[in-house]
Every structure is written in C-alpha cells, then in structure tokens.
Structure 1
Amino acid sequence: MTVQKIENMVGALALALSDSFMLATQEQAPELGPAAAALALLGHEPGMPIERLRRALGLSHSGTVRLIDRLVAGGVIERHSSEQDRRAVALHLTKSGEEKCAAILAVRQQRISCALKVLDPHELEALGKIAEKLLKNQVHNLDEAYCVCRLCDAAACVNCPVSAALDESKAAQKL
C-alpha cells in the first residue's frame, strides 16, 4: 500500500467519523459543531473564560459572544463573574446544559464505538497506540490542545496523550 493511499484513507476515515458524530449531536446542539463543542468544553472545564472558548472553537470574539448569547437564551449555559478576574466572564453549564453535554458525549462515543467494532482487540490496541502518537504530534500549545480535544470525553481519557504532549513541551522549554 502506498503512503499516498494510506494518507488518503486516514483523511476519509477522519471525515467520516467526524461527520457521523457531528450530525448525531445536532439534536442536542442544533448549531452543528461549535455549540456541541462549547458544551463539551464547558462540561470539562466549568468557568472557562470566553477568550479560551473562542480560541478552542476557532471563532471570532463577536462570533463566540453571539454563540454564547444563543446558548444562554437556550438555557444551557450561564455567565458568571470570574473568580480570578472580576472583569472577565466565566461560563458554566446549567443542569440542562449538563444533560445535553452528557448526551453529546454519549452519541459521539456510540458512533465511534460502532465504527471501531470491526477491529479485533489486538487491532484496537494497535490503533490506540497509533492514535496516541498522532495526537501527541498535533499539539504544541494549550490552544491547540483545547481545539483538538473540544469534543473529547475527559473522564474517558485517563493519562491523556494531549496533556502528556503539553507537559513534554513545557519540560522541553524549561531546559
């Protein structure tokens, strides 16, 4: 198999998986992508400031504020004063937002599980090691980490490779 074919197949697989769970989450977060990712990020990090969310979602500041306005109006997030900086806004999920976040992560996990069920345990373990290596290579700073993990289930990712990559990057910078 040629490298070009492998690269093409990995791209097609990534797109197929992404499309599958992004479409499946649409019922929980009607704005395909950014709203679902915002809920997942806030579920992982309650109190996230608008600027951190903006960078993770790759939106403009005004686009992020409009998204937040819609999510507040939808009753899934709330704005609070930040405990670290009274000028900043801390974003938190409401009870309804927590339920939607859980549903988004569940449907994402179900779609990925369904796609991977064709692999035997050894193949699945090998894929896990390859995915870990590839993820570590994608992350060089905190903004990239939030972007890569914007729809991750943090509770499922013990010893997260993205966090490990950040730690390794910080250690290398201190040397």
Structure 2
Amino acid sequence: MDHLRQIVGLSAAGTTRLVDKLQADGLIERRASLADGRSRAVTLTKAGSKSADAVLEARRTVYAHALAVLSARDRKQLARMLDAMLTALTPDRATCELTCRLCDIAACPQDICPVELAALNAEKS
C-alpha cells in the first residue's frame, strides 16, 4: 500500500479509500504479501486485468491515430527524441515510478525503457 501510495501520489488515507473503492468494484483484491507477512499486496482480479487491458487498448488506438500522420522515418526520430527527453526527466527512482505508473509494459519492457534505464543509472551513481 505504501508503494502504491507513492506511485499515485495520494495520502495514506486517500490510497486506502482508492483501494477500498477498487476492491468494492471487484477490480482488485488484497492478499497477504509473500515478502512480508505484516503487509498486504494489492493485485488485479480478472475483471481488473480486463479493465486495465481496455484502457491500454484505448490508449494504443489514440496513439496509433496520432502517429499515423508521421512517416516511418519521422516515427523513429520521434522515438529517439522522446527517449532523450524521458532520460533527462528521470533523475531518480521516485520520478521513474511516477512517470511509468501508466506504462504499457508489453510495449516498453523494462530492459529497454528509457525511464527505467535512467533510474538504474541514477542508482549506480
């Protein structure tokens, strides 16, 4: 819950209310954490996964429409520029978590994500 609170930028009480609402809607469930028996993990239910997938698909559709006007060369150039900008805007892990909270991990896995790589580089420094 504390990790989620940091990512969504809510107070502890606000995060609890959010989780309570999502649980009441059947989108998430609380489970005992495997790492620490004193804490609870929040996981998506099947309905929650379906809802998240629908959000990602809607976003992909909007992006595809916006990018359709660009040539393949322009899209590659835009990708390079966005990588540079995202790297410059990620000075630490906390910023990474905020930036990537709505990411499509399948489209941008952590091993190539410029934000994740910038956070890892900052942690090494």
Distance across 1 between alignment mates of 2:33 and 2:94: 20
Paired residue type of 2:33: S
Number of corresponding residues: 123
Paired residue type of 1:62: A
Equivalence for 2:12 = 61
1:116 matches 2:67:
yes
Gaps of 5+ in 2: none
Paired residue type of 1:107: A
Give me the CA root mean square deviation.
1.0
Equivalence for 1:169 = 122
Equivalence for 2:29 = 78
Deviation at 1:141, TM superposition (A): 2.1
Runs (4 or more) in structure 1 with deviation over 6 Å come to none
Distance across 2 between alignment mates of 1:153 and 1:86: 30
Is the CA contact (8 Å cut-off) linking 1:136 and 1:165 kept in structure 2? yes
- TM-score calculated relative to the size of structure 1: 0.68
**Which structure's relative contact order is higher, taking Cα pairs within 8 Å and 6+ residues apart?**
1
- TM-score calculated relative to the size of structure 2: 0.93
Which deviations, in whole Å up to 9, do the C-alpha atoms of 1:57-104 show, x marking residues without a partner? Answer: 111111111000000000000001111111111000001001011111
Distance across 2 between alignment mates of 1:138 and 1:51: 24
Equivalence for 1:157 = 108
Q: Aligned residues: percent identity? A: 37
Gaps of 5+ in 1: 1-49
Q: Which has the higher helix share?
A: 1
